[in-house]
Amino acid sequence: MTVTKKNLNKAGKPVSYDTDLSHEELIAIIDGMQDTFYRTDSDGWLKYISKSVERLLGFKPEELLGTKLSDLYVEPDGREKFLVAFQEAEGDIEGYEAPLHDKNGQIVWVSTNAHFYRGLDGEIQGVEGTTRDVTTRIMQQQELNRLKSTLDKTLDCVFMFEPETLNFFYVNEGAIKQVGYSAEELLQMTPYDIKPAYSEAQFRKLLQSLTDGRNTTLTFETIHRHKQGHEVPVEIFLQYIKPENESPRFVAIVRDLSERLEVQEKLRHLAHHDSLTNLPNRLLFMDRLEHALTRYREEGQVAILFLDLDRFKVINDTLGHASGDKVLQMLGERINACIRKEDTLARLSGDEFAIILEDVFSSEVVMTVARHVLDELVNPFVVEGHELFITTSIGISMSPDDGEDSLTLLKNADIAMYRAKDLGRNTYQFFSPDMSTKAFERLSLETSLRYALEREQFMLVYQPQVDIETGKIIGVEALLRWQHPDLGIVGPSDFIPILEETGLIVPVGEWLLYKACTQAKAWQKKYDTDLRIAVNLSARQFNDVGLVSIVDYCLVRTKLPAQNLELEITESVIMQDKKRIGSAFQAFEDMGVRIAIDDFGTGYSSLSYLKRFPIDTIKVDRSFIRDVTTDSDDAAIVSAIIAMAKSLKLDIVAEGVETNEQMEFVTVKGCSAMQGYLFSEPLTPENMDKLLAKHR
């Protein structure tokens, strides 16, 4: 068999080589080959195998002759699988890979090229082929696959790229997800294709510091651009590695920072905003104020509106904090609608809000905003079916006249706000320097109140309650007065709120309860009457666990019969913590002490408590009585209250009766008792004594 091939060599000269070899020569060549040559008969019995099988599997050729190839496969159906693949390849297979056992039972991966060999008649006589050891490559491949699947599973994104072309040659699942391109697309791209912040030149410069060894790794934050166009903030950990036997490469491990930045942003937001209303808090408010003051130092003015809601506590106390919170949220939204985007509305605390108006040129502008806010609150807030009317008092200060720094401005706006409250609330006031003096007065009032009890500056006055028909004095209400050394007699509305805020109401309340009981007992004895004494309790006193025992103590010590003591409370007390109030009420009922609802009709309470709690008396609030003869609404309200009290078999006292017409009105409606200037103003103990003597 002579085959001559004509070819041209590199120099263009024709070359030819001869394949006319003898059998021995061929065997010698085959035995010398790295690859192992083998031949089987049509049943798979090995007929011939070249010497290199010893290197491949450790067997000498003669040890294998007469065995079946299938005995060598690791997998029991190894031979069957081979035949299937062989048939599919139409009897000519290349690179078929399978694991075999070597003589020691170790696994050797081989790659086989094989084909049928036929006799002269064309009949298939068996299979012959060459096979070689590919264990190392397969192991590497498996190791690589393992690594790759680990990489694919990491949350981090891995990009590898060539140092020369900068082409990506490996990206993991995470990387694909992060930038939104398919693996195929990415393999056509380079890092600067997805990094809008870098040009190719800049990027190469960056890499240079790694390749020239100035840095071993680089960590930096940048932006990746997603296929869809949006930006992804990322942190990159970049390394230049030179694996053995392989070309050097860059490996970038990329972490998506969106979530972390979001959390950071959220934390920042939380630290600077009020969680209930989502408005800026005091911290952010002061920060913005300082910035504004710097910005408008030279020209323009900054104004602060300090808002304090009027009697917001009543809503919290009567409807509960959840409703109060709702109102604050709605309120925030409404007020926000009154200002420009560049202005700031903040919630400073509980029911205090403040507005910064930047770059204002006249007080008229500020006035307009204040008016706007007040108007915005005219419509009621509807919370859980209740219509709530909220007003606010606004104090205004403007830089630089009312202060050049943030603290002074805020303090003066606060002072102006108090002035607005004094003026009857639901109004605004600009700060003026003489207000500081008034604020100072309040402060000194607070200080001197702390000493008032030990300096015996408190006293009680008594206002009689009379039976309208008989004119008989059925009871007296004890009302607190403060004899201030400089200011003279101070009325309770000026200092009771301060006593409540400071907690002083508890010792003062204890003192006056004892005083009132003692006085009542003395009058009972002296005039042989069944006189009742009414004592006001504020909500704050119910927070004190000792209240019940104090009442008990006073009754025992003064020997005043319990049914002659009536505790006056407002609806706001009832709506407090119902459980605690309930148990206090129960204790009072057990003792036989009476309970009156004071200022009835002014709270936001539901009336169900009238049945639930042991209530004896309803005192119709003075504000309804005042206009009862001129205002048909008030007339209707008073009629309804009296009718309801009667049907619940409760006693009724009309408060603040000043005229005969008012007295007649309530009498006709069925109210039998009254308290008011018509009969008598509150009297000092001496004067009350005289009145009692006269009425005996």
Residue carrying structure tokens 């040129």: 361
Handedness of CA 609, 610, 613, 615 (dihedral sign): positive
Least gap, CB of 693 to ligand C2E (angstroms): 22
**Contact stretch for ligand C2E (CB under 6 A) within 92-100, 239-247, 295-303, 532-540:** 532-540
Binding positions for ligand C2E, 138-167, rule CB under 6 A? none
**Contact stretch for Mg ion (CB under 5 A) within 36-44, 225-233, 561-569, 688-696:** 561-569
Q: Give the residue among 386, 388, 211, 412 at the shortest CA–CA distance from 304.
A: 412
- Indicate the length of the chain as a whole number: 696
Of the candidates 414, 599, 634, 651, which one interacts with Mg ion according to CB under 5 A? 599
Residue 599 binds ligand C2E (CB under 6 A): yes
Residue 389 binds ligand C2E (CB under 6 A): no
d(CA 452, CA 481): 11
Of the candidates 536, 558, 572, 672, which one interacts with ligand C2E according to CB under 6 A? 536
- Nearer to ligand C2E (CB atom), residue 167 or residue 602: 602
**Contact stretch for ligand C2E (CB under 6 A) within 58-66, 194-202, 250-258, 491-499:** 491-499
Q: Is 317 exposed, middle or buried (0-12, 13-18, 19+ CB in 10 A)?
A: buried
Q: Give the residue among 471, 462, 463 at the shortest CA–CA distance from 663.
A: 471
Q: Is 112 exposed, middle or buried (0-12, 13-18, 19+ CB in 10 A)?
A: buried
Buried b (16+ CB within 10 A) or exposed e, 670-681: ebbbbbbebbbe
**Contact stretch for ligand C2E (CB under 6 A) within 22-30, 66-74, 329-337, 673-681:** 673-681
Of the candidates 4, 493, 608, 630, which one interacts with ligand C2E according to CB under 6 A? 493
Residue 598 binds Mg ion (CB under 5 A): yes
- C-alpha dist (Å) from residue 361 to 408, 428, 488, 596, 639: 20, 19, 44, 55, 54
Residue 568 binds Mg ion (CB under 5 A): yes
**Contact stretch for Mg ion (CB under 5 A) within 277-285, 457-465, 510-518, 535-543:** 535-543
Least gap, CB of 599 to Mg ion (angstroms): 4
Residue 496 binds ligand C2E (CB under 6 A): yes
Long-range CB pairs of 514-520, under 8 A, 24+ apart, other chains included: 514/554, 514/557, 514/558, 515/460, 515/478, 516/460, 516/478, 517/554, 517/555, 517/557, 517/558, 517/560, 517/565, 518/558, 518/560, 519/460, 519/462, 519/478, 519/685, 520/476, 520/558, 520/560, 520/564, 520/565
Residue 60 C-alpha from the chain's centroid = 78
Q: Give the residue among 192, 195, 199, 145 at the shortest CA–CA distance from 167.
A: 192
Residue 429 C-alpha from the chain's centroid = 35
Residue 523 C-alpha from the chain's centroid = 60
- Nearer to ligand C2E (CB atom), residue 479 or residue 641: 479
Residue 598 binds ligand C2E (CB under 6 A): yes
Residue 677 binds ligand C2E (CB under 6 A): yes
Of the candidates 32, 433, 491, 670, which one interacts with ligand C2E according to CB under 6 A? 491
d(CA 627, CA 636): 11
- Nearer to ligand C2E (CB atom), residue 604 or residue 679: 679
What is the torsion angle, in degrees rounded to the nearest 10, for the CA atoms of residue 578, residue 579, residue 580 and residue 582?
Answer: 80
Of the candidates 331, 479, 504, 692, which one interacts with ligand C2E according to CB under 6 A? 479
Residue 492 binds ligand C2E (CB under 6 A): yes
Residue 628 binds ligand C2E (CB under 6 A): no
- Nearer to Mg ion (CB atom), residue 536 or residue 672: 536
Handedness of CA 602, 607, 613, 616 (dihedral sign): positive
Through-space distance between the first and last CA atoms of the chain, rounded to whole angstroms: 156
Over its C-alpha atoms, the chain yields an Rg (Å, rounded) of 49
Least gap, CB of 621 to ligand C2E (angstroms): 8
Residue 614 binds ligand C2E (CB under 6 A): no
- Nearer to ligand C2E (CB atom), residue 435 or residue 480: 480
Least gap, CB of 651 to ligand C2E (angstroms): 16
| Interacting partner of 538 out of Mg ion, ligand C2E, none (Cβ under 5 to 8 A depending on kind) | ligand C2E
User: Is residue 100 a contact partner of residue 21, using CB atoms and an 8 Å limit?
Assistant: no
Residue 480 binds ligand C2E (CB under 6 A): yes
| Interacting partner of 496 out of Mg ion, ligand C2E, none (Cβ under 5 to 8 A depending on kind) | ligand C2E
Least gap, CB of 285 to ligand C2E (angstroms): 35
User: Is the preceding peptide bond at 163 cis, omega within 30 degrees of 0?
Assistant: no
# chain residues binding ligand C2E, by CB under 6 A: 22
d(CA 542, CA 547): 7
| Interacting partner of 574 out of ligand C2E, Mg ion, none (Cβ under 5 to 8 A depending on kind) | none
Residue 568 binds ligand C2E (CB under 6 A): yes
Residue 476 binds ligand C2E (CB under 6 A): no
- Nearer to ligand C2E (CB atom), residue 133 or residue 598: 598
Least gap, CB of 621 to Mg ion (angstroms): 6
Residues in contact with ligand C2E, shown as a per-residue x/- string from 633 to 672 under the rule CB under 6 A: ----------------------xx-x--------------
- DSSP per-residue string spanning 183-223: HHHHTT--HHHH-TT--HHHHHHHHHHHHTTS-SEEEEEEE
Residue 377 binds ligand C2E (CB under 6 A): no
Residue 31 binds ligand C2E (CB under 6 A): no
Residue 617 binds Mg ion (CB under 5 A): no
Residue 99 binds ligand C2E (CB under 6 A): no
Residue 510 binds ligand C2E (CB under 6 A): no
| CB contact set of 569 (below 8 Å; sequence gap of 6+) | 536, 537, 539, 542, 595, 596, 597, 598
User: Is residue 670 a contact partner of residue 452, using CB atoms and an 8 Å limit?
Assistant: no
Residue 519 binds ligand C2E (CB under 6 A): no
Residue 538 binds ligand C2E (CB under 6 A): yes
| Interacting partner of 658 out of Mg ion, ligand C2E, none (Cβ under 5 to 8 A depending on kind) | ligand C2E
Least gap, CB of 520 to Mg ion (angstroms): 15
- Nearer to Mg ion (CB atom), residue 172 or residue 572: 572
Residue 440 binds ligand C2E (CB under 6 A): no
d(CA 598, CA 595): 9
d(CA 435, CA 430): 10
Output the furthest CA–CA distance in the chain (Å, rounded): 157
> Which parts of this chain interact with Mg ion (CB under 5 A)?
536, 568, 598-599, 655
> Which parts of this chain interact with ligand C2E (CB under 6 A)?
463, 479-480, 491-493, 496, 512, 536-538, 568, 598-599, 622, 655-656, 658, 675-677, 682
